[in-house]
A and B are shown apart, each in its own frame.
Chain A
Amino acid sequence: MSTRPRTLYEKIWDAHVVERRDDGTCLIYIDRHLVHEVTSPQAFEALRLSGRKVRRPDLTLAVPDHNLPTTARLDGSGARIPIADPESAQQLAALERNAPEFGIRYITDTALEQGIVHVVGPEQGFSLPGATIVCGDSHTACHGGIGALAFGIGTSEVEHVLATQTLLLKQSKTMEVRVNGALPAGVTPKDLILHIIGVIGTAGGTGHVIEFRGPVFEAMSIEGRLTVCNMAIEGGARAGLVAPDETTFAYIKGRTYAPTGDAWNRALAWWKTLQTDDGATFDKSVVIDAADVQPTVTWGTSPEDVAPIGGTVPAPESFADPSKQEAVRKSLDYMGLAPGQKLSEVEVQNIFIGSCTNSRIEDLRAAAAVLKGRRKADNVKWAIVVPGSGLVKAQAEAEGLDRIFVEAGLEWREPGCSACLGMNPDKVPPGERCASTSNRNFVGRQGPGARTHLVSPAMAAAAAVTGHLTDVRELVD
């Protein structure tokens, strides 16, 4: 092993090289594989057709999340309520059948531990610092928040990992996003990552793994770090990382699959070495002053289309690149917005608080703090809060957050991916707007014709109260 200074990414990479080929491609060992119902059926089917087994079912964890309705799952007598959509039901049934057939632990849809795969992994202590983690879902980047090298894969790669517990990969380039200073009051990790994507663009991190560094991340909670790393993919990077530290270790300790006893001590000793060495270099570096970040919203159909809430909808001509001008024209047409329009005057009819980006307890607390003693505006027709897991839901209920949401006129739902991508019945109607704490404002993402404005949980709550995009700092001290 070389002794030259290495980045965090390089350290995790080096610890997982099974074989290095002459052309630099490496066979990389995968420590943790999370499986959900959407991107796995074809992989299991391929294994069956070729008579192959899952190499390490014990390093694999399956949980349904994308298709599950977020309404009640059991009826009054405790019987499972059938899923109305036959295709969703078929896909969920396939996972429920495949997991035991291949010896994989499966968290059933009605279990307390069920939730969005990227909430479940860290929450169960299945995702660990320094681990290589994959899932057939691009928001696997999320787990970088606990200092794991985590990235999304396609179904062929799911099959490859199931069969071999490895992937053939070329090492990525390294990119540092350093945020100096401290986030101003009322500005959250979601605002920060939206701001960062606005700075680097949706292709800014392509071919790179981003390490988020600096005092802002050191002071940030694990929930916040998970939110930031979750959207590294929206900046083009397959993975994002925050170096594990005492905050991380305290978060992991005692969780279901976390190491204990001597294994914990040995793990901890290694985890403490997982920082970028002094003198290590990054292929690309971006420095941001936290003081420049404000509550941020998206106005277009790309996550790079961001502006501070105090801003206005930009004119297509204000962009230098002619193809971006054309894209902005199309975006504004789809979004039903005009250049110069104040973002704080954009009315919303729907509110979605949830998704693997923002459905953890801290997110729900932030939204509840704004909604407490208030009521949603009359023009807000549909407002749902979807906790990231059954455990988050139980914690929120223990804290009385569910009552705050319900008294404010919001619906308190069962865990799942929900209106982030609307594979289940939770969709935004065509032509209507949604202030959404999810991660993608793509055309049709939340339903055909749906218009998405990405925001933080506190900002979504503020929009629920006023009925339009709102600077949350006007509602709270």
Chain B
Amino acid sequence: MDAVTQVEGRAIPFGRKNIDTDVIIPAKWLKTISREGLGKGAFETIRVEPDNIFDSDEFAGSPILIAGDNFGCGSSREHAAWAMLDLGIRAVIAPSFSDIFSGNAFKNGILTVVLPQEQVDRLLEVAQSQPITIDLESQSVTTPFQDRFTFEIDPFRKHCLLEGLDEVGLTLARDGAITAFEASQAQQMPWFAKGTGAAA
């Protein structure tokens, strides 16, 4: 994952609630074995409209998306995050996110910024004409009109994002603890350790 410190630029004032991952990337695009090139299918059912905001001269390629409540609900497909990255989106601001989507976004270096609805409404208004800045270190969203909203983020996620850390690598370094857990579980709950009996 590339390190993320700041996302700055125009923000797509989308605003819609309950955007599910089938809308972010329809199933027909999931047949790939790569993470690349999914931007062409991103928000496809919305982008069939000729005057849609994603392809407008003003907002195409913007790094920030502003959405409504429960963004990314539904399917666990990480293709949603890959598709948004491919479209150029590096951060999403919304009043709430689905649990799975926010995890997938984080793993791909996309910031998911949770702000109260009234602040999101203000940003939707500002975004019509002005850029927005999200700063991860100070956990703030600012506008040229001196708006400054702060947001919460899990400290571990923040650390990983700022440093661009490989989470698998970090956990592999905890091999001793995992091995100890497995030894203890094999004693206390041997039925779990049995599995399918397959061997590497």
B-contacting residues of A (Cβ < 8 Å)? 15, 18-19, 21, 23, 25, 27, 29, 31-32, 38-39, 41-42, 45-46, 50, 52-61, 66-67, 85, 87-88, 90-91, 94, 102-105, 126, 128, 131, 136-138, 140, 152-157, 159-160, 163-166, 168, 170, 172, 202-203, 206-207, 233-234, 236, 238, 257, 259, 263-264, 266-267, 270, 302, 323-324, 327, 421-423, 440, 442-445, 448
Contact = CB atoms under 8 A, between A and B. Distances in A.
B31 A126 contact: no
B197 interface: yes
A41 B79 CA distance: 12
Contacts of B26: 444, 448
Given A39-B77, A164-B171, 18 more contacts: A27-B174, A46-B168, A55-B178, A67-B31, A91-B31, A131-B192, A138-B100, A140-B76, A155-B79, A156-B104, A164-B172, A165-B182, A166-B178, A206-B99, A236-B99, A259-B190, A444-B23, A444-B44
Contact of A102 (B15, B70, B99, B200): B200
A447 to B, nearest CB: 9
A154 B78 contact: yes
Interface residues of B, number: 61
Nearest to A58: B195
Contact of B27 (A45, A138, A445): A445
Nearest to A104: B198
A7 to B, nearest CB: 18
B18 to A, nearest CB: 6
A18 B76 contact: no
Contact of B189 (A45, A53, A202, A267): A267
Contact of A423 (B30, B44, B98, B154): B30
B3 interface: no
Contacts of B98: 203, 206, 236
Given A207-B99, A327-B18, A443 B27 contact: no
B35 interface: yes
A189 B184 CA distance: 38
Nearest to A267: B191
The winner among B15, B16, B189 for most chain A CB atoms within 10 A is: B189
Given A156-B107, A168-B156, A170-B154, A29 B76 contact: no
Contacts of A423: 27-28, 30-31
B194 A259 contact: yes
A58 B78 contact: no
B30 A18 contact: no
Contacts of B196: 58-61, 105, 126, 257
A327 B17 contact: yes
Contacts of A52: 168, 172
Contacts of B199: 57-58, 103
Nearest to B34: A42
B6 interface: no
A15 B27 CA distance: 36
A138 B76 contact: yes
B168 A164 contact: yes
B33 A21 contact: no
A263 B190 CA distance: 7
Interface string B74-106: 111111010000000000000010111001100
B76 A154 contact: yes
Contacts of A31: 192
Contact of B177 (A18, A67, A154): A18
Given A236-B98, A257-B194, A263-B190, A166 B171 contact: yes
A361 B73 CA distance: 29
A128 B34 CA distance: 33
A266 B185 CA distance: 13
Contacts of A53: 200
B167 interface: yes
Given A206-B98, A259-B194, A302-B18, A163 B68 contact: no
Given A58-B196, A444-B45, A163 B172 contact: yes
